[in-house]
Structures are given as structure tokens and as C-alpha cells.
Amino acid sequence: MTNTTPNDSSSSENWLEQALAQALTKPLTHLINLENPLDFNGYIKAGGYMGATKALKEFSPKGVLELVSDSGLKGRGGAGFPTGMKWSCVPALQEKKISTDSPFNQNANEHENSYLICNGDEMEPGTFKDRYLLEGVPHQLIEAMIIASYTISANKAYIFLRGEYFLAAERLQHAIDEAYENKWLGENIQGTNYQLDLYLHTSAGRYICGEETALINALEGKRATPRAKPPFPQVSGLFGKPTVVNNVETLCNLPHILKHGSAWFKDLSPDSDPGTKMYAACGQVKNPGVWELPMGVTIRELLYDYAGGMKDGANLKGLLPGGASTDFLTEKHLDTPMDFDSIGKAGSRLGTGGLIVLGDKHCPVAMVLNLLQFFAQESCGWCTPCRDGTPWAVEILTRIEQGQGSHEDLTQLNELCDFMWLGKTHCALAPGAVEPLKSAMRYFKYDFEQHIEQGCCPIEANKQNHQEQLVSNKKEANHGE
Ligand SMILES: Cc1cc2nc3c(=O)[nH]c(=O)nc-3n(C[C@H](O)[C@H](O)[C@H](O)COP(=O)(O)O)c2cc1C
Ligand code: SF4
């Protein structure tokens, strides 16, 4: 899914016209241009910064909070926590400390002492939706962060960006510089008393830095281990101050909610969670990619209509619906809507909305082993179940995958899953690692048992048998000549 702005001005105007025609149905992506993202002037021409203008000039912070709460926006970082509810835990909003006056009359000091952090770490395997928004329309995120910072009384905001997103870093910094030049950042934003400084921070590069409290530690220059909660970051976060951490995609919805209202946002997906969703697909599909679609598109539509179906003549064996740390679903779930509740009822999580698809020509044991190797390497080592449990699971899975496992190994793997489950660790990395493992042992039990009973991977064995058959057919054919 790409969009390119032609160089000459007449075709550029055509492009803009076509893009704007999709503004109400594809709010997040209609202005995406991966090759040449809109600069400040282009973004303004396309209606950019209208949402922030409305927030600063027509709404009080409480008013924005009410609008966002009413829209029903849920966080797109994985857990689906309602954004308005998260913001409302910031003490300044709870204690009604913020003036409901126009921002022109407000004292700049009223906005001190909270922080907003945009989580752009995106290291979850199979997840690449935020990158698309960051590289394709960087001013959208800056506008969104002005709206969110204003609402939660933050004068300082940070974008915590995955270290490898070099292009996104370059484009974001350029857009931030343009926003300062045009008085959308810094002191007295657009003539109001509101002030915001926005900093780009690139991660040193660990998956755990995406967990919001580990991210805060990393931003403070400390080792990136998660913090015990409570206190939650909204009360005590960065440098001990109230802090809201929101995902890139979550934030990017804000300018559009401000511009078009909460009823429009709810109508984008009438039968499901509100809004659109950045869905993605990778693995054994013909056409891997990322698409903005109404929330609640079914798995079948996503897999067959957008990702082109299974590749290399494979049949669907299973899929992870929302990145590497979600439970497998199978063919019987194809008509499940991809929204938070429906995927939850089907036994998994919407997570990041990125399908990782497994075909029947690939080995589920090898796939789960690969994922567990990732989680074991990325464990921060704070909790025993995760630090010791993930490499232990790798050891057992390696044995099984190599055909040297036993049935007792399966029992032990199940026990390990219980040992690493929710409530037994400080963060969700270990339970996230359990999700694909436990569900694979349930849905693909036969494959695990075949490895043990045949002493090798049945798929590899099939491949070998097939090769041997070809050689023997050839020999027979030659003999016959
Ligand atoms: C191990 C781990 C990694 C995570 N990585 C990310 C990430 O890269 N991006 C993200 O937005 N959230 C990530 N999260 C979730 C964040 O902790 C947090 O819930 C999220 O940023 C909140 O944003 P939202 O309310 O807008 O969804 C991760 C969580 C865990 C446990
Ligand atoms: S679950 Fe793992 S990653 Fe999370 S705090 Fe514990 S050891 Fe660290």
C-alpha cells in the first residue's frame, strides 16, 4: 500500500484531491506519502493542524478529554485500554486543577509538571504499522501530540522511537523543526499561552523498552527494566511526574476526532470498537502489507481480500492475530471480527492487529521455538519465571524440534506456561511469550507428538520422502529407457 505525490504541481493537486476524498474513511493514512511526505506547508494545505487549532482555541483540556472519552478510542499499543480513561487518571485532570477558560487566558504555569510520551518502539515481531504512519505523515503525529499534551497539562513531550527507524527519525526531526519554525511548538503556540517542547529520543534497542515503565526508565538514562505498578505512570512516571504513554497509532487518531467529532469516529465501524485500525499481515501470505480498515474487519477478509491469501499453495494452519505475543487462532476463527472483544472471545488478543500467518508446509514447533528464542533473549532478567522460564522453554522446544523430545517434555512445557502466566511476573513479556506456546500445544498437539514419535520434524521428513521419491522415480525412468 503506497501513495506517491507526483512532482509537477498539477498532478500534485490531483493527488491531494484524491487523498482528501478519503479523509473521512481513511483518516490515518489518506495523507501518507512514503517517498516524499508532506512538508509543513503541504500538510497545512491538506487541512493539517486544524484539529490542534480547534483543541487550543475552542476546547478546554477537560473538553478535549470529554470528547476523546466519548469517541470510545481504545489504545492501539496492544492492550486496548480506553484512552480517555487513561488520561483521566492524571491528577491534574482529576482534581479539576485545570482552568476551563480559553487557552488565551490561561496561565502557562497551569500546564507544568506532566509529561506525554509517544511509544514508537515497535519491536514486536510481525508489527510494522506505526512505522508506516511515522515515515508517511510525520506532521500528523506532532499535531496529535500537541492535542494530547494540552489535554494532560504537559509542557514537555517525547517521542520514544525504535533505534532502527532511521528514516522515521530523520523525517520526524525535520517535521519537529518545521513545527518550531511555524510556532506550533515552543512558547505561545499560535498566540496562546500554551507552551510545548517536543523531543525525539531514539532507543538503544531492546524489545522491553516498549513496555511503558521500562521505556520511562530508559528515557531517564537508567537500565530498561519495568517498574512495579502501582504507582501507574499517570500518577508517577517520568522523573516522578504524572506521565501518559500512548502508542503512535492511538495518538494519530486525535486530530481527526477533534476535526470531525466523536459521532463520526464511532460511525467508522458501527458494529464494533470505534474508528479504523491499522491492520497488517506477514508470514505465508501472497501479499504482506499494512492497511487502514474499519475496526472489525474479519480475519478472512484481511487474509484473503487484502493479504492475497496463502502463498505457495499452502493451506492455512494457524495465525497469530496481533503480533508475536498473542494466542494462535485457526481456520474455524476466520469469520471472527478483528476487534478487541471478538478476538478476546475467540481466545486470543487483538494486540497490534498484525497477523502472522502459518501455512501447513511450515512447522508450528519450529515457529514457536523461534518466537521463544526471541522472548528469552529480550527478557530483562528481573523476574525468575521469565529469566529462567523462557530459556528453559527454548531448551525443551529445541529438543522436541530436533526429534529428541519425550512426552514428559510436553508436560513440563505446560507447567512452565503456568509458571510464567499473568500475575507471576512484573510485566507482560513472559505471559506474552506463553500465549503462542500454550495455544500451539493445544491446536497443534499432533505436530508436537509426531516430532516425539517419529524422532524428527514430520514436515522435514515429508520433504525428504518426497525428494527420495523423485530420485527413485528418476532412476526408474532411466532404467526403463
Ligand atoms: C514487552 C512489551 C513491549 C511493548 N512494546 C510496545 C511498543 O513497541 N509500542 C507500544 O505502543 N506499546 C508497547 N507495549 C505496550 C505499552 O506498555 C503500553 O501499554 C502502550 O504504549 C500504551 O499505549 P496505548 O494506551 O496508546 O495503547 C509493550 C508492552 C510490553 C509488555
Ligand atoms: S516478565 Fe521478563 S521482561 Fe518483564 S520484568 Fe519480568 S524478567 Fe523483565
Closest CA to 135 of 27, 34, 248: 34
- Examine residue 231 and say whether the peptide bond preceding it is cis (omega within 30 degrees of 0): yes
Q: Which ligand minimizes its atom distance to the CA of 425?
A: 2
- Residue 93: the pLDDT is 83
Q: What is the pLDDT of residue 272?
A: 80
Centroid of ligand 2 to alpha carbon of 372 (angstroms): 14
Q: Which long-range contacts (CB under 8 A, 24 or more apart) does 170-177 make?
A: 171/37, 171/134, 171/135, 171/138, 172/134, 172/138, 172/141, 172/142, 172/200, 173/200, 174/138, 175/37, 175/39, 175/40, 175/138, 175/139, 175/142, 176/142, 176/200
Q: How far is the CA of 424 from the centre of ligand 2 (A)?
A: 10
pLDDT at 302: 97
3-state secondary structure of 318: strand
| Residue 360 scores a pLDDT above 60 | yes
Could you read off the pLDDT of 243-260 as tens digits, one per residue?
Answer: 999 999 999 999 999 999
What CATH class does 364-460 carry? mainly alpha
**Which atom of ligand 2 lies closest to the CA of 387?**
7
**275-359: CATH architecture:** Roll (3.10)
Q: Is 380 in the pocket of ligand 2 (CB under 6 A)?
A: yes
Domain limits of the chain? Answer: 9-265, 275-359, 364-460
Q: What angle do CA 218, 213, 417 make, to 5 degrees?
A: 115
To test ligand 1's pocket by mutation, which of 131, 159, 212 has the most ligand atoms within 8 angstroms of CB? 212
Among 15-24, 36-45, 97-106, whose mean pLDDT is lowest?
97-106
Q: What is the CA radius of gyration of the chain?
A: 25
Question: Are 166 and 160 in contact, with CB atoms under 8 Å apart?
Answer: no
CA distances from 162 to 80, 121, 128, 211, 243 (A): 21, 4, 11, 12, 20
- Choosing from 225, 325, 374, 422 the residue with most ligand 2 atoms within 8 A of its CB, the one to mutate for a pocket test is 225
Above 50 in pLDDT, residue 71? yes
Cβ-based neighbour number of residue 48 at 10 Å: 22
- Residue to mutate, 88, 247, 421, ligand 1, most ligand atoms under 8 Å from C-beta: 247
pLDDT of residue 94: 77
* Residue 405, C-beta contacts closer than 8 angstroms, at least 6 positions apart: 396, 399, 448, 451, 452
Residues in the chain: 481
For the chain, give the mean pLDDT.
91
Q: Which atom of ligand 2 is nearest to the CA of 390?
A: 2
SS (H, E, C) 144-168: HHHHHHHHHCEEEEEEEECCCCHHH
Give residues (CB < 6 A) around ligand 1: 75-79, 81, 86, 119, 121-124, 207-208, 210-212, 245-247, 250, 427-429
337 pLDDT higher than 50: yes
Distance CA 453, CA 445 (A): 12
pTM: 0.92
Closest to 199 (Cα-Cα) out of 175, 176, 230, 225: 176
In the CATH scheme, what is the code of domain 9-265?
Answer: 3.40.50.11540
Closest ligand relative to 426 C-alpha: 2
pLDDT of residue 105: 43
Q: What proportion of the chain, given as a percentage, has pLDDT over 90?
A: 85
User: What is the C-alpha end-to-end distance of the chain, expressed in Å?
Assistant: 53
Looking at the CA of 223, name the nearest ligand. Answer: 2
Reply yes or no on whether the pLDDT at 108 is more than 50.
no
CA of 378 from ligand 2 middle (Å) equals 9
Residue 459 has pLDDT above 90, yes or no: no
CA-proximal residue: ligand 1, atom 18 (nearest)? 212
